[in-house]
Amino acid sequence: MKKKLMIVLLGLGFILAGCQNSKEKGIKITDIENVQKTTFPSSYQLSGEHISLNIDSIEPGEAYFINGTANLMELDYKGIGRIFMPDDGTNQISEGDKLIFSNEEIKGVYKEMCTWGNTTFSYQTHEAYELFSSISSSKKIQEYNLSEYAEKKDFSFGSADEVFEKTIDSLEELGIRLGENYRVDTYYLDYETLKEQERHYDIDGNKLEERYKTDWSEADNAYLFYIHQTYCDIEDYHNGDFWKGRAEDGNAQIQIIYDAEGIQYLSVKNLSTYTMGSIQEEFMDFDTIADKVVMHFDYILDDANYEITTAQLICDYETPSAKSGSVIIPTWAFQVNVMPEGELPSNYELRVNALTGEIMEN
């Protein structure tokens, strides 16, 4: 389920921006309601010597982009950790002051744990640890299975919409305020599918029978929310200095597992605040983008064949600047399947600047 919400206009100054810059590239915007949206094809086919574009779905179907910048959202991660795990004698904090872990363990795993860095935070319970044995969110690996949890279900402790509203309230209490600047993808972790999808193998591929959970029940039902920040209604999948996340749900800035007892898992990474400018910039024609992609692969000197099956318009950033913020760049994220001769196939993501057609560094 995608819940599309309007973008918060943090930079309201663009509405009454001066006219002295009328010769700037793009169109001067005086009212967000008057932006001109570009429509993209619903599918696309094109072939080169080593590359085939067989794109069944291009997302979104239409979009607009106004110039803007992003800054790192400042959050007190240690304070957030202490909300989940208060200093009440039931837990300990590491000497490095970056980890809180409970005194109690369950089957060799901490009952609760919080860890954080400069731009990331994670809270996890033992219950969530068990669920992750049944969830594979990366499309890069063969075991990807989020689609198994896509069918909408309502659990006894509340509907997905009701629980998500509670989730947003909880984030507000933790100091994580998104306004309306996000979208959410919801997955429905019913215990029967979790039991069916549970996997435990050693490095040699041997099944570890002793690690399988034997008491699956309705108490394990949970919602998994992937919350994506957006700018101009485009999902933000910017690549950071230490984070090269592909444009897929498993790389959402906020990830939450919520069951009848509340939040069992919270992951936060690279949250931003946005400042919108006053210039609407023009997307390069998709045909021209496709031609540049084909040319890129035709210059690759190997024997592999390449196929592109999906294209998503996302937000990426230029190199961050502490003073002025990072310039936001609308970017095409193409998922590329690689089929080398005599080797196993693989896949990766190619990013292309949607304004200039420039191939971006991954």
Predicted pLDDT of residue 140? 85
> Cβ contacts of residue 170 below 8 Å, gap of 6+?
262, 263
Q: What is the mean pLDDT of the chain?
A: 89
Q: For residue 98, which amino acid is it?
A: K
- pLDDT, tens digit, 9 for 90 and up, residues 18-28: 333 333 457 88
Higher pLDDT, 319 or 105: 105
The string of pLDDT tens digits covering residues 189-248 is: 999 999 999 999 888 889 899 899 999 999 999 999 999 999 999 999 998 666 677 999
What pLDDT sits at residue 116?
96
Confidence at residue 27, expressed as pLDDT on a 0 to 100 scale = 81
Q: Whose structure tokens read 């310039």? A: 327
- Please report, rounded to a whole number, the percentage of residues in the chain having pLDDT higher than 90: 71
pLDDT at 23: 35
pLDDT of 7 higher than 50: no
Q: For residue 44, what are the β-bridge partners?
A: 55
Average pLDDT over residues 85-105: 94
- CB count within 10 Å of CB 318 equals 14
| pTM to 2 decimal places | 0.88
**Rounded distance between C-alpha atoms, residue 290 and residue 133, angstroms:** 39
Structure tokens at 136: 């594979």
CA distance 98 to 39: 46
Task: Please answer whether residues 70 and 231 qualify as being in contact, where contact means their C-beta atoms are separated by less than 8 angstroms.
Answer: yes
d(CA 279, CA 18): 11
Whether residue 359 has pLDDT greater than 80: yes
Q: Residue 362's pLDDT is what?
A: 60
Q: Which of 187, 91, 175, 86 is nearest to 132 (CA)?
A: 187
